[in-house]
Amino acid sequence: MAGTLRKNWRGHREASQRGTEEPPLIKWLLIGAALSFCVVFLLLPLANVFAQALAKGWAFYWKSLAHPDSRAAIRLTLTVAAISVPLNVVFGLAAAWAIAKFQFRGKSLLITLIDLPFSVSPVVAGLMFLVLFGLQGYLGEWLQDHNLRVIFALPGIVLATVFITFPFVARELIPVMEATGTEQEQAALTLGASGWQTFWHVTLPSVKWGLLYGIILCNARAMGEFGAVSVVSGHITGQTDTMPLRVEKLYNEYNAAGAFAVASLLALLALFTLAIKTFLEWRQSREFARARTAGRG
């Protein structure tokens, strides 16, 4: 019994092409498990979003999206992304530059701080802003005296979104910038270029794929953020509801098809992001390979 088992086992080994490869049975079991997991937990729910959205037909789908409150939510989401993504691009470039190109005390602390939004629960992040800017918060009275609305208004939503999407651009840029080093910039300086010319003609082009990658991830998260925004938005229908908040509200109002219609837009955004992400990763890996061969000399 044991002998035949061993013989079978060896037979499988011979059938596989390389010595390090698993026997085909195990290989296919692993691939099958991974695939079915993806189908059950990723693909089916995604398909279901579109199925549910169209459950009552195209006409209802369009009507749900065209509803003034839905349109307001879409507009607000786009506005929030349009403000917070550029802010984080500027911040991400500055932080990545500082970390990749300079040596200074507290550098590891800065890297840890950049990651903070990843490790803090979004709801806690939202509460932090509530404590700071809310009516009962530290700055609440002063803000009210000057007639400034932060919480339950656009500024609060933008603040929460900027906080949550803080790490994306910086995290993508740091390794790219570290890989390119500072010599190209120094070369530009010796050729007479100013700091700004160097940044524009040398630094930015060398990190463009990494930067774009960071931007689309940042944008996807900015549009999809729920927890932090939910705390600071106040859920005022037609005013401070972003798309994710609108989805939740419609669903709670037993309008499943309407909720899924808005949700399908977010799902499309996700698919679009995924496609660009794949393309950019491919471009970037090519660029990296180039940089490596160029560096080797």
Residues of this chain that bind other proteins (CB under 8 A): 180, 183-184, 186-194, 197, 201-202, 205-206, 287, 290-291, 293-295, 297
Shortest distance, position 293 Cβ to other proteins, whole Å: 5
Please name the residues in contact with 148: beta carbons below 8 A apart, sequence gap of 6 or more.
155
Closer residue to other proteins, CB minimum distance, 45 or 205: 205
Shortest distance, position 27 Cβ to other proteins, whole Å: 36
CB 138 within 8 A of CB 131: yes
Shortest distance, position 294 Cβ to other proteins, whole Å: 5
Task: For Cα atoms 193, 285, 287, give the angle at the middle one, nearest 5 degrees.
Answer: 25
Closer residue to other proteins, CB minimum distance, 63 or 208: 208
Shortest distance, position 31 Cβ to other proteins, whole Å: 35
Closer residue to other proteins, CB minimum distance, 86 or 205: 205
Cα distance between residue 145 and residue 136, in whole Å? 13
Closer residue to other proteins, CB minimum distance, 149 or 201: 201
> 220-245 b/e with 16+ CB inside 10 Å = b?
bbbbbbbbbbbbbbeeeeeebbbbbb
Closer residue to other proteins, CB minimum distance, 57 or 195: 195
Shortest distance, position 205 Cβ to other proteins, whole Å: 4
CB 223 within 8 A of CB 81: yes
